[in-house]
Chain A
Amino acid sequence: MAINEKMIEEILNKYPAKVKRNRKKHIVIRDSARENQEIEANTRTIPGIVTNRGCAFAGCKGVVLGPLKDMVHIVHGPIGCAYYSWLTRRNKAKTDDPKKNFLAYCVSTDMQESDIVFGGEKKLARMIDEVVEIFKPNAITISATCPVGLIGDDIQAVAKAARAKHGLNITAYSCEGYKGVSQSAGHHIANNGLMENIVGEGDWEEPPSKYTINILGEYNIGGDSWEVERVLNEIGYEVQVVMTGNGSYEKLKNAHVAQLNLVQCHRSINYIADMLEKKYGTPWLKVNFIGIRATIESLRNMALYFGDEALIKRTEEVIEKELAEIEPQLEPYKKICSGKTAFCFVGGSRGHHYQGLYEELGITTVLAGYEFAHRDDYEGRDVLPHIKSDADSKNIPDLHVTPDERRYRLKIPVERMEELQKKIPLSNYKGMIKDMMDGSIVVDDLNHYETEEFIRILKPDIFSSGIKDKYIPQKMGIPTKQLHNYDYSGPYAGFRGAINFARDVAMGFATPTWNFIVPPWKDKPLLEGSIEQCSDDTCVEEVGA
């Protein structure tokens, strides 16, 4: 069923007037006839709306820093936040040195009431000593939770002193939960910290191979990055570091040598991409390794960037080989999925990325949105100069980088850059809205109430989001697919990942379970029989009897 403004109005009427006015700006019906459709995003969450958004700490420690495997990530604060960000994102990692993989560890100062009253700096300093002794990590991060900033613990100073004492890269991130309006603030804080303290710390001056790249904004959920790297390696690329899935301090510190940075999740990592370009002259390419077509396009764009005939040829060979492998496998799933509709509401980029893969399976995305994205993720980076900065965004300072005197090198000439930018998303992202079908809905910061209402109207065949909201549609009898942690499945990226995704989605439709939801006594009689026709006389008799 198509949706119109009136229906949205009806949904919003349930809210108090002020809330209604606010939420209205976060919902857009796609209309390609209109040049630039605006949506409000990255503004304060309405209290009590039951949002799916998290906090700055979640974005910093939970998303960006957490996956770096050879570092110990200390959480300075009471125990809860450390516990809740302990292995919750399924970012996988393997390392050559089994003693240097600390992802399974949750390490916290576990502040108590006395620490809140008297300050926790000394405890933190003592704890860093212990962590160095126990784990011998390659580097340490310290992330702050709410009370730390409020009681005035100077974690930056503690980190600095510890750095001098241990001769280790120890950095602090003031990512208290109340900063900004969502986890997006935390991404920014983490980006700034990594750029300022780690990237470029290494002593490499030259890339280790002809085609050295970094993959930014790929967190290796369910092994996504491994599938992508498999294909890239086969073509002949060398991946210096993945930020930050399966990433490491050891690799990250030499990230500056890459000749191209790929950006998968624009929201969480565009700051670093931008800063790498300014500081080292390395452009970034917006890629999307979710979906077969998107993967192919990304690979071709990469080859085009390097412009090497042999590389272009090799790229096509690999694409052909991969397609031959997966296309026959995909067919049966397409038959099951074809003609279905989906909701696709994820964090800050997957809401866009998965639409293409759905389309390839014959599934139309009728509603999509982001939890914590900004307007540029919806409308494209062209909108950036027009975004008003508010008090919340000003609280997270932009890190102003300047070209590195020694290491800045234009990777491609300016003219060629301009020429390429016309063809491929080089240092640019066009956003989600432009890719959406007319009549489909874009919702920013979807909540429980709206989820339920939109499901009632649009009756999607599958709802793809996260664990907090997946049980709502399931209770309503609609299959779901978690796109945050993949329901413990994956990888979904690249060629082989697409098959996994198709299998999992098709299984959601095809499971016999749904057939039993309505009990037989609700929709058909348990006793079969027919009522005999009778003459008027006998019927009257029976009624009377």
Chain B
Amino acid sequence: MPRETKHYRNVNENPCNMCMPMGGILPFKGIEDAMVIIHGSQGCSTYMRRHIAEHYNEPIDVGSSSLNEKGTIYGGSQNLFQALDNIRKVYKPRLIGILTSCLAETIGEDVEGIARDYLKQRGLDDFPLVAVSTPGYGGTHSEGYWLAVKKTVVALARPTEKHDGINVIVPNLSPADIREIKRILELMDIKYTLLPDISETLDRPIARPYTKIPPGGTKVEAIRRMPGAAATIQFGITVEENVSPGRYLQSQFGVPLYNLPVPMGVEATDMFVGLLAGLAGGSVPKTLELERGRLLDCMVDSHKYNAQGRGAVFGDPELVYAVVRTCAENGLYPAVVATGSGNTGLEDLLEPVLADCPGEVRFHNETDFAQIRTTCRETGVNIAIGHSDGKYLTEKEGIPLARMGFPIHDRVGGQRLLSVGYTGTTMFLDRITNTLLEYKHKNYRAAMYRKFYRNTGIEERGHTSLMGQAFGSEECPQLIPVLRGELR
């Protein structure tokens, strides 16, 4: 794959990623009775709460040490102490995560040291205070997510007696996806600790009474016992070693690690289910076999439409890998693969997946949407798959967007999008296929007119979109927007 980075430009125009503490908040929302504080200006917490709330449609509470000018000179430990006191008093959490911001890191706050001092001064030896260093310039939200998960494991995991449960460590998936993974585990009678578990906390049913911290999440006690597990399954094939919680459990406690791709698509779900069957020494339940059959039936039904798709896939590296692999299984080969992250492994990992791809695939690391847009135009992409910011490709280039991943802030239901397991993959593929079909039908009339009636004197009527004018032929829609380059 030709690899292109954005370093020939200094400007980041329409980013494809958020900052590190943003990603760090999410795992703490998946731990039972946990709260999280950002050590920095209160704007960080407020902006991130706003964006996370818009994706999940849930209250998202994130404390702030509300550092101000004084704190930048004398250090912010006093503010952080106060914040911890107040959060403990009002929320009564059983674990608190502390994330740092650009501000705290730039003034050189030793947040782990402050956390230790706090526990000592308040006489709280056993209270789990998980400090994570997440400067906004230190990486994207993807790295922030994994670092927070790892630091949580490091803070809590203690040598424990061996037990027959397994650890399941998940990337930033939707609550619906997590529920599906749990369903599969339960169908196969597996005892497990899934971390972090946002399935109930960030997709909370209407229920009385209302509590400030939503019920659900991984139990602190269960995280402590992760070192005694028979194995760790981590859906983190792209995760770098230094932030890999599964790798930590393996090297420190000898828990065997199975680092798998997100169970999306036939092969990856087979790997997951097969591994579970192997670990449990059991067979695959009939239900899952039926679901697998239905997925294949869906793929057979849809392959002729999908083969017309030229995709642009972007977002978190882990999800990008899973989506590219699933699409490729179905004959929808990507033309553009992009992530805002500086992940080093993704490109190599995709090499075998895309070995049979008939066309050129262009890969962008640490990229922005300005570059993705240009490449989409050059390669004739006709479907974009990724988070909401891809709407820019629709607005400017007319490329339809199938929303997937985080954040989805211009549609509802991001938290309910199901894309994993055999059933989830089926639903994902239907969404992709229908996006292509909608696009095709929307432009069908204009394409037909151009093919058969141009210069006949019969006036063109009905819906004509800019996209329609660009169709070369209705069988193989290749997008060449008429207005390209003229409108910014």
Contacts and interface: CB of A to CB of B under 8 A. Distances in A.
B64 interface: yes
- Interface size grouping (class) on chain B: 35 or more
A372 to B, nearest CB: 11
Interface in A381-398: 391-392, 395
A177 B10 contact: no
Interface stretch (A28-36, A205-213, A470-478, A498-506): A470-478
B65 A48 contact: yes
Interface in B79-98: 79-80, 82-87, 89-90
Given A130-B9, A146-B103, A468 B212 contact: no
A104 B11 contact: no
A471 B53 CA distance: 8
Contacts of A145: 102
A134 B20 CA distance: 29
Contacts of B467: none
Nearest to A44: B68
Contact of B14 (A80, A99, A106, A452): A106
A44 B69 contact: no
Contacts of B59: 448, 468-469, 471-472, 475
Contact of B47 (A54, A448, A469): A54
Contact of A179 (B15, B17, B68): B68
Contact of A468 (B40, B50, B340): B50
Contact of B58 (A80, A108, A179, A471): A471
B199 to A, nearest CB: 17
B86 A83 contact: no
Interface stretch (B131-139, B180-188, B474-482): B131-139
Given A47-B64, A57-B43, A178 B71 contact: yes
Contacts of A109: 10-12
A150 B102 CA distance: 10
Contacts of A477: 206, 208
A50 B62 contact: yes
B18 interface: yes
A312 interface: no
A469 B64 CA distance: 16
Nearest to A88: B50
Interface in B44-58: 44, 46-51, 53-54, 57-58
Contacts of B65: 47-48
A146 B210 contact: no
Contacts of A476: 210
A8 interface: no
Given A104-B392, A452-B210, A177 B103 contact: yes
A14 interface: yes
A517 B18 contact: no
A49 B86 contact: yes
A186 B62 CA distance: 22
Interface stretch (A111-119, A281-289, A534-542): A111-119
A147 interface: yes
Given A48-B63, A83-B15, A55 B10 contact: no
Interface string A103-143: 01111111111011000000100110011001100000000
Nearest to B369: A106
A395 B10 contact: no
B102 to A, nearest CB: 5
Contacts of A216: none
Nearest to A19: B86
Contacts of A47: 63-66, 79-80, 82-83, 86
Contact of B66 (A14, A45, A115, A395): A45
Contacts of A452: 210, 212
Interface string A36-52: 00000000111111111
B124 interface: no
B41 interface: yes
B395 interface: yes
B41 A448 contact: no
Contacts of A130: 9-11
B66 A46 contact: yes
A145 to B, nearest CB: 7
A15 B51 CA distance: 28
Interface in B97-153: 101-103, 106-107, 135-138, 140
Contact of A146 (B14, B18, B101): B101
B102 A77 contact: yes
Contact of B212 (A19, A98, A391, A448): A448
B11 A51 contact: no
A181 interface: yes
B11 A134 contact: yes
A336 interface: no
A467 B53 contact: yes
B68 A110 contact: no
B289 interface: no
A77 to B, nearest CB: 7
Q: Which bracket fits the contact residues of A?
A: 35 or more
B350 to A, nearest CB: 24
A475 B210 contact: yes
Interface in A11-37: 14-16, 19
A459 interface: no
Given A147-B102, A147-B103, A56 B43 contact: yes
A79 interface: yes
Nearest to A469: B59
A151 B107 CA distance: 9
Contacts of B64: 45, 47-48, 50-51
A78 B137 contact: yes
B300 interface: no
A58 interface: yes
A134 to B, nearest CB: 7
A113 B86 contact: no
B108 to A, nearest CB: 10
Of the candidates B9, B47, B340, the one having the most CB atoms from chain A within 10 angstroms of its own CB is: B47
Contacts of A338: none
Given A16-B85, A44-B68, A98-B487, A58 B43 contact: yes
Interface in B181-240: 204, 206, 208, 210, 212
Contacts of A79: 12, 15, 17-19, 136, 140, 340
Given A105-B14, A130-B9, A147-B106, A15 B90 contact: yes
B85 A78 contact: no
A204 interface: no
A188 B64 CA distance: 23
Nearest to B392: A104
A53 interface: yes
B70 interface: yes
Interface of A: 14-16, 19, 44-58, 77-86, 88, 98-99, 102, 104-113, 115-116, 123, 126-127, 130-131, 134-135, 145-147, 150-151, 176-183, 391-392, 395, 448-449, 452, 466-469, 471-472, 475-477, 517
26 contacts: A44-B66, A46-B66, A47-B79, A48-B64, A48-B85, A51-B66, A54-B43, A55-B43, A78-B19, A79-B12, A79-B15, A80-B19, A80-B47, A84-B50, A98-B488, A109-B11, A150-B72, A182-B42, A391-B70, A392-B69, A448-B212, A452-B210, A467-B53, A471-B58, A475-B210, A476-B210
Given A16-B89, A127-B11, 11 more contacts: A14-B90, A54-B42, A81-B136, A88-B51, A105-B13, A110-B12, A146-B101, A177-B43, A181-B68, A468-B53, A468-B59
Interface of B: 9-15, 17-22, 37, 40-44, 46-51, 53-54, 57-72, 79-80, 82-87, 89-90, 101-103, 106-107, 135-138, 140, 204, 206, 208, 210, 212, 340, 368, 392, 395, 487-488
